[in-house]
Each structure stands twice: as C-alpha cells, then as structure tokens.
Amino acid sequence: MSSFLLLQNLVYPSDELSLTMIVLEEWSLTYVEGLDSKKYLQSQLTIDMNLLPKTHHTLCAHCDFNGKVSSTMHLFHYEKGYGYIQRKSISKIQVKEIQKYSVFSKIKIHELSDVCLIGFAGLNVRSFLLNFFIKIPDKNCSVIHESNKTILWYGEPSERFLLVLSLSDFLILKRKINKNIFFNNSKQWLLLDIEAGFPIIDEICSKKFTPQAINLDKLKAISFKKGCYYGQETIARIFFKKINKHFLCFLISKGNILPKIGSFIETQIHDKWCKIGFLLSIVHVKFEEIYIQVVLRKSVDVKNLFRVYGFKNIFLIKKG
C-alpha cells in the first residue's frame, strides 16, 4: 500500500531533497502536429529544429519580432509531432501568438488538457522509477516514450525526471507505489529549475528580456547559424557585437516576503540603494530561507548586497 508523506508545502534544495513526487500544476504541455510542424517551428523558435534528435529534449525560446522572449520551453519529439513544456501562466497567450501565421501551414497547435505532468526527484529517484518502467532516460538519451508515457531526464541541479501521463496512468502509478515517498506541489520543481539556472518566464515577465539577458546563449538554447526566425536579427546583433548588458542568477536570504514578480532589485552602492535588476521568481525554502531568480545588469559587483524594492531583507548572490 502506498504511503505519501505530505510536506505541508515545505520546499527543499536539491542537496537536501528526499525521494519526492511533484505535481506540476504550474506547467502545461503544448502539442504541435502536422506535416509542416518542423518547418513552422524552425521559423519560430530559437533552436535549430534539424539538430533536435528524437532521443533528446532541449531548452529554447519563442520571441517576438523585437527579440524579446515571450516564453521559454523544453521541446521534444512527441507522438506525431512535437511537444513543449512551459509555464501555464503564459501558455494560452503563447499558443495564440505562435498560431498567428500558421493559417497557410499544415499544422495544429494546442495546449493539452488531458495529460498530467509529474516530477520525481530526490534520493534514489532512478532506482525508484526502475520499479515501474523498463527503461529510464539518462544523459545519452534524455527522452523515452513507453506505452503512451513519456519520461524526460534532467541532470541539473541533480538527477530528476518529468513524466507525461494520462490521468488514468497517473492514478495507476500512484496505486502501485508501495514505499514511503514525499508528495509536493509545483514550488518544489520551481526551486529545482531555479537551481538549475533555467529562466522562469511567467506572463508578467513575458516580452521584457532578450534571450542573452536570461542566459539562453550559455544554456545552448539559441542557434546563431540557422535561418531567420522571430527576433533573429536583434538576437544575432547582440551576439556578434557583444552588447548584452544583463545576466540571470539567483539570490538567497532569510525571512518571509511576498514581492510581486517583476519587482525591481536594488543593490547598495556608496550607502545608497540603486535599481539594478528585476525579479523573475521566488520560492520560500524550508522554514526561513528565500530563493529568488533575478535578471541583473552585468556592471554589478557580485559581492554586493541586494534587496527587493520595498523590502528590507538582504540578499546575496548564490555561488555555485
């Protein structure tokens, strides 16, 4: 008989995480199908679709004409086309945007409402999943499809897995679990993404940053060799002229604050607090720790003290 231990919304960093099942209610899956799906996505997304093997998923972005990121997603081959996982807050808007010029293409793009996105992470997670699946993905094959189920492997900040399941398959899996496992919500997966350095783009921060400002170049989520795509001219100019002025990082502090996403980040310079960046995401960790993902200007001294505008809590840059 399965035994799920509720964490009462407590979130833990990757190096302290026990075996945990995570319901990803803050993420969604979009499905792209049709004869022109590959060609169409090639003209829309920042990666080269020709280089995406069926055995792997990749981080990429959908940008507007000005080269600002509308959404970030993890893209992979799915069923008869492609699937990508992105933040639910931006999903419907992003799907509407990417559909704009699809009228003359043989393609269908829609958010799937009949799937469950479930994360597994923590101590001995691989050996645990091997009790239920014949094969588990790894670095050399980061996507596996098995009996209408899809498993994605993530290596950062520690080994973890994302399962795409039907509701019935999810319920069957839950019934099969016969050992203690912690159960948590999306905030736990959000923290793991922040630790991994994946930019979190919700609706409030959509179309505010170029890909380089949120480290997508360092994460190999941009192709500078393929043909034209949305925002390509601006993105290429920033790359070749080396004029990116921002970077993504995360800060830590103590306390309990609830700032709005998109709030200004300030730093202390000569006894004055100056605006230096923006807040992308926040997670309260364990009992009194705060992790925030931010975009800062490159000119900032990483040894500085930081705070969220309107709050007194002092943050420091988390060093890897």
Q: What is the per-residue pLDDT for 180?
A: 83
What is the per-residue pLDDT for 3? 56
Query: The domain that contains 112 carries what CATH number?
Result: 3.30.1360.120
At 69-81, the pLDDT tens digits run: 999 999 999 999 9
Q: What's the pLDDT score for residue 179?
A: 77
Q: Specify the pLDDT at position 103.
A: 85
- For residues 100 and 176, membership in a common domain is answered with yes
Per the annotation, where are the binding residues for folate? 27, 189
The answer to whether position 38 is within a domain reads yes
What's the domain range around 87? 3-196
Q: Is 235 within a domain?
A: no
Residue 265 has pLDDT above 90, yes or no: yes
Residues 191 and 251 reside in one and the same domain: no
Which domain CATH number covers 270?
Answer: 2.40.30.160
- Please state the domain count of the chain: 2
59 within domain boundaries: yes
- Average pLDDT rounded to a whole number, residues 204-216: 97
Task: Classify residue 192: in a domain, yes or no.
Answer: yes
Residue ranges of the annotated binding site are: 27, 189
Same structural domain for residues 268 and 153?
no
The average pLDDT across 148-163 equals 97
Instruction: For 3-61, write each residue's pLDDT tens digit.
Output: 566 555 799 999 999 999 999 999 999 999 999 999 999 999 999 999 999 999 999 99
Give the C-alpha separation, 251 to 314, whole Å. 10
Residue 240 has pLDDT above 80, yes or no: yes
In a domain, 289, yes or no: yes
Task: Assign 270 a pLDDT band (cuts: 50, 70, 90).
Answer: confident
Report if residue 226 sits inside a domain.
no
Max CA pair span of the chain: 61
pLDDT tens-place string over residues 102-143 = 888 999 999 999 999 999 999 999 999 999 999 999 999 999
Residue 176's CB: how many other CB atoms inside 10 A?
A: 10
Phi/psi-derived region of residue 261, left when phi > 0, alpha when psi is between -120 and 50, beta in every other case: beta
Which of 136, 164, 196 is at the close of a domain?
A: 196
Query: CA of 269: how far to CAs of 75, 262, 299, in Å?
Result: 41, 22, 12
Domain ends where: 196, 230, 265?
A: 196
Question: pTM to 2 decimals?
Answer: 0.95
Say how many C-beta atoms besides its own lie within 10 A of residue 315's C-beta: 24
- Asked, for residue 67, whether it belongs to a domain, the answer is yes
pLDDT of residue 1: 41
